[in-house]
Amino acid sequence: MNNQTLYVGCDVSSDNNYYCFLLGCGATIRKTSLPNNAKGSNQLVDLILEDLEGYDLSKLIFGLEATNNFHFHILNFLALHEKLENYDVILYRINAKLIKNFKDGYPDKSKTDKYDAFIIADKLRFGRLPEPFTPFNEFVSLKRLTRTRFHIVKQLEREMNYFLSNLYIKFSEYKKLPFSNTFGTTSIALVTEFDIEEITQISNEKLIDFLIEKGKNHFTDPKAYAKEIKKIARNCYRIDRSVNKTINLILEVSLSTIKALKESLSRIDIAINREISKFKHTLESIPGIGPVLSAGILAEITDINLFENDSKLAKYAGLTWLHKQSNQYKSEETHMNKSGNKYLRYYFIQAAESARKNCDEYRDYYNKKYRESTKHKHRRALVLSARKLVRLIFVLLCKNTLYDPSRYLKNRGGGC
Q: Are residues 53 and 115 in the same domain?
A: yes
44 and 6 in contact (C-beta within 8 Å)?
A: no
Q: Are residues 54 and 93 in the same domain?
A: yes
Distance CA 308, CA 281 (A): 19
Query: What's the confidence (pLDDT) of residue 396?
Result: 96
Query: What's the confidence (pLDDT) of residue 347?
Result: 98
359 and 369 in contact (C-beta within 8 Å)?
A: no
Q: Are residues 42 and 71 in the same domain?
A: yes
Q: Look at residue 136 and tell me if it is in a domain.
A: no
Number of structural domains found in the chain:
3
Distance CA 246, CA 244 (A): 5
Measured from the Cβ of residue 58, the count of other Cβ atoms closer than 10 Å reads 12
Q: Are residues 291 and 399 in the same domain?
A: yes
Distance CA 91, CA 136 (A): 13
Tell me the pLDDT tens digit for each residue of 182-228.
999 999 999 999 999 999 999 999 999 999 999 998 888 999 999 99
Tell me the pLDDT tens digit for each residue of 258-300.
999 999 999 999 999 999 999 999 999 999 999 999 999 999 9
How is residue 309 annotated by DSSP?
A: S
Query: CB within 8 A of 161, min separation 6: which ones?
Result: none
Q: Are residues 115 and 154 in the same domain?
A: no
116 and 19 in contact (C-beta within 8 Å)?
A: no
**Confidence category of residue 334, pLDDT binned at 50, 70, 90:** low
Q: Look at residue 133 and tell me if it is in a domain.
A: no
276 and 268 in contact (C-beta within 8 Å)?
A: no
Q: Look at residue 40 and tell me if it is in a domain.
A: yes
Q: Are residues 264 and 288 in the same domain?
A: no
Domain boundary, last residue among 93, 126, 159: 126
The CATH number assigned to the domain holding 86 equals: 3.30.420.40
Domain boundary, last residue among 66, 97, 126: 126
Q: Look at residue 119 and tell me if it is in a domain.
A: yes
Distance CA 122, CA 276 (A): 39
Q: Are residues 159 and 73 in the same domain?
A: no
**Confidence category of residue 336, pLDDT binned at 50, 70, 90:** low
Domain boundary, last residue among 272, 296, 323: 272
Tell me the pLDDT tens digit for each residue of 22-54.
999 999 999 999 999 999 999 999 999 999 999
Distance CA 185, CA 333 (A): 41
Its pTM stands at: 0.81
Q: Are residues 100 and 15 in the same domain?
A: yes
Query: CB within 8 A of 13, min separation 6: which ones?
Result: 36, 67, 70, 113
Query: What's the confidence (pLDDT) of residue 2?
Result: 52
Tell me the pLDDT tens digit for each residue of 82-132.
999 999 999 999 988 888 889 888 876 666 657 899 999 999 999 988 888
Query: What's the confidence (pLDDT) of residue 69?
Result: 83
Query: CB within 8 A of 80, min separation 6: which ones?
Result: 135, 136
Query: What's the confidence (pLDDT) of residue 406?
Result: 81
Query: CB within 8 A of 92, min separation 6: which ones?
Result: 61, 62, 63, 64, 124, 129, 130, 132, 133
Q: Look at residue 222 and tell me if it is in a domain.
A: yes
Query: What's the confidence (pLDDT) of residue 111?
Result: 63
Q: Are residues 321 and 359 in the same domain?
A: yes
How is residue 89 annotated by DSSP?
A: E
Query: What's the confidence (pLDDT) of residue 96?
Result: 86
| Structural domain boundaries enclosing 260 | 143-272
Q: Are residues 337 and 358 in the same domain?
A: yes
Q: Are residues 288 and 265 in the same domain?
A: no
Mean pLDDT calculated for residue range 363-369: 96
Kindly state the percentage of the chain with pLDDT values over 70.
91
Measured from the Cβ of residue 90, the count of other Cβ atoms closer than 10 Å reads 15
Query: What's the confidence (pLDDT) of residue 130?
Result: 84
Q: Are residues 344 and 262 in the same domain?
A: no
Query: What's the confidence (pLDDT) of residue 162?
Result: 98
Query: What's the confidence (pLDDT) of residue 211?
Result: 95
